[in-house]
Structure 1
Amino acid sequence: MANFFCGVDGGGTSCRARIVNDNGTVVGEAKTGSANILLGVELAMSSIQSAITQAAEQAGITDLSCISVGLALAGAEQKSAWLAFMSQPHPYQHMTLNTDGYGACMGAFNGENGAIVIAGTGSVGIVLQNGQQVVIGGREFPISDQGGGAVMGLRLIQQTLLAHDDLRPSSALSDYVFAHFNNDLDEIVSWSKTAKPRDYGQFSPKIFELAMQRDALAMELLQGSADDIERLILGLARKGASQIALMGSIGERIVAWLSPAAQSLLVEPKADAMAGALLMAHGNHNLYPLSR
């Protein structure tokens, strides 16, 4: 029976799976919903299995037990969530789980020493040195993840409410957000009671768009996120990192907002987090040891 390897990159917004054969040729790829295990291990497993199943169908794989899976997932740094996720049954030959930051760093430097800042829905900084990882930030929304889209969106909602109360000037961006909620303050408040990180993060494209049009609020928010990302970059440099890859949907677009000192530390990643997860699928890269 042929062996296949699957890399999964799962965050607060989406889950991507890529399957390769023994020769490293991509034979299937798919994308589904959120796979942040802190939002529910069953929900994350459902998204992951759906993505892997879709990718396997593309590859013509009917027996999932021939697939070794490397999982790079948001929320995996919390030990209780990691253990709860790994205790679930699965049909795969082998499964190893580490953080989305670990997978991104593995991909960015092809498994060799390096450092990354990833800023997508959330954010994290990570250094890999000789198999050992040091992590800064990335302790999940809303208490951490500064520089990510969810925190940016949360700040936007806060500033929109201030504008509504005439505590700061309104702008095209705050008007856009208020219109998004049908110009109903109560609707914003009700929405906030159940909003997930991806719900806050949905506003980041509009922030970038209006910042390019010199909207004052959009520029303020982008500069705040850039300052947060730069803090992570310089923090990694203090830990000995000389080359840092900036990754993620926010990170890739915010480079121009960073200082020259921070930009000088940046290098292009060699590959993405799914490539890193595929490297993980070939071995034991579990963040925590299994007790069973």
Structure 2
Amino acid sequence: MAAMLHLGVDGGGTGCRARLCAPDGTVLGEGRGGPANLRFGVAEALDAVAEAARHALAAAGLGEGDLARVAAGLGLAGASEPALATAAAAHPHPYGAVAIATDAGIACLGAHAGGDGGIVIVGTGTIAWAVIGGREHRIGGWGYPLSDEGSGAWIGAEALRRTLWAHDGRGPRTPLVEAVFDRFGGDPHGIVAFMTGAKPRDFGGLAPLVVDRAGAGDPLAVAIMQDAGAHVDALARRLVELGAGRIALSGGLSGPIGPFLADETRRHLVPARGDALDGAVALARSLAGPDRAAPEGR
């Protein structure tokens, strides 16, 4: 019987990525899907995962029927909440075998190739994670708006908040403020209407604007990024206190946040040995085991 294929999925608040590998590690195909944060719907998140998986299989010349011979390692935003992880594991899956982990957990696994170390994810949300002596540690990542300081969602919300301050005459009216107002037709009530139904990824959609304006020297954008950097510093500092002397950064904003980090944080930063998909594939590989074969007749 043929050995099972290994599917790794990195599911975040903005979208998810999938990678399909042969048992020897050869990458067969990759795919993308929609947002996969369990906090905003278990079924919706797993539908996005399945979409990415189908694209990965198609890239490998395989079809949906081949999912039954796949061992899937799914790293999902929101899986750090036990009830959501349990619900996701209990949901019907098309895979031959499946394991649910947090997106931070697979990112840490990939970054340190299974060894000890920490990671700070700076994307739509923020979370710090470490594995030290076989024990996992989680800091932050409790969900926006109560947590995830320094994230894309937080940065976008700060841009909106300070735009409204400027409208009230309580803050400077910089090019960033003008650009944000342009997004809403110059109407503060448009910002209120947006805020009412916005999800973290919607706030995060404004983060690139702040990053761009900070790069151009806009003082308000720079101040927001400095505050974001200080929040990431706090996450890294706690990882060091726990014993994680080697910390990798991950996430879509891990590059832009770099110049705004403290020297003490930078002293502990190391290049990631692999990414979150590498960690997810490793999880799938451990799930499949060296001798596990695909079900007969599939």
Report the TM-score when normalising by structure 2: 0.93
1:207 to 2:210 alignment: yes
Post-superposition shift, 1:220? 0.7
In 2: Cα distance, 1:201 partner to 1:53 partner: 27
Residues 186-244 of structure 1: CA deviation (Å, up to 9, x unaligned): 22111111111111111111111111111111001000000000001111101111111
In 2: Cα distance, 1:184 partner to 1:208 partner: 23
Matched ranges for 1:58-137 at <5 A: 58-62=59-63, 63-137=66-140
Partner of 1:147: 150
- Give the letter aligned to residue 241 of structure 1: A
8 Å CA contact retained: 2:162, 2:177:
yes
Residues 55-75 of structure 1: CA deviation (Å, up to 9, x unaligned): 111112232111100011111
In 2: Cα distance, 1:162 partner to 1:284 partner: 52
- Give the letter aligned to residue 234 of structure 1: R
Matched ranges for 1:1-292 at <5 A: 1-62=2-63, 63-283=66-286
In 2: Cα distance, 1:4 partner to 1:252 partner: 32
3-state SS of paired residue (1:254): helix
Q: Give unpaired runs (5+ residues) of structure 1.
A: 286-292
- Give the letter aligned to residue 90 of structure 1: H
8 Å CA contact retained: 2:71, 2:287:
no
3-state SS of paired residue (1:282): helix
3-state SS of paired residue (1:61): coil
In 2: Cα distance, 1:209 partner to 1:25 partner: 37
- Give the letter aligned to residue 145 of structure 1: D
In 1: Cα distance, 2:142 partner to 2:32 partner: 25
Q: Determine what percentage of the aligned residue pairs are the same residue.
A: 38
Post-superposition shift, 1:2? 4.2
- Give the letter aligned to residue 69 of structure 2: C
Residues 263-292 of structure 1: CA deviation (Å, up to 9, x unaligned): 11100001110100111112359xxxxxxx
Post-superposition shift, 1:129? 2.1
In 1: Cα distance, 2:125 partner to 2:141 partner: 7
In 1: Cα distance, 2:232 partner to 2:206 partner: 18
3-state SS of paired residue (2:286): coil
In 1: Cα distance, 2:62 partner to 2:197 partner: 38
In 2: Cα distance, 1:204 partner to 1:187 partner: 18
- Give the letter aligned to residue 185 of structure 2: N
Q: Give unpaired runs (5+ residues) of structure 2.
A: 289-298
Residues 16-48 of structure 1: CA deviation (Å, up to 9, x unaligned): 000000110111101121000101111101100
8 Å CA contact retained: 2:128, 2:239:
yes
- Give the letter aligned to residue 54 of structure 2: T
Pick which of 37-46 and 245-254 moved more. 245-254
Post-superposition shift, 1:161? 0.7
In 1: Cα distance, 2:246 partner to 2:91 partner: 37
Post-superposition shift, 1:140? 0.9
Segments ≥4 residues shifted beyond 6 Å:
none
3-state SS of paired residue (2:177): helix
- Give the letter aligned to residue 215 of structure 2: M
Partner of 1:288: none
Partner of 1:289: none
In 2: Cα distance, 1:98 partner to 1:131 partner: 15
Report the TM-score when normalising by structure 1: 0.95
In 2: Cα distance, 1:22 partner to 1:98 partner: 21
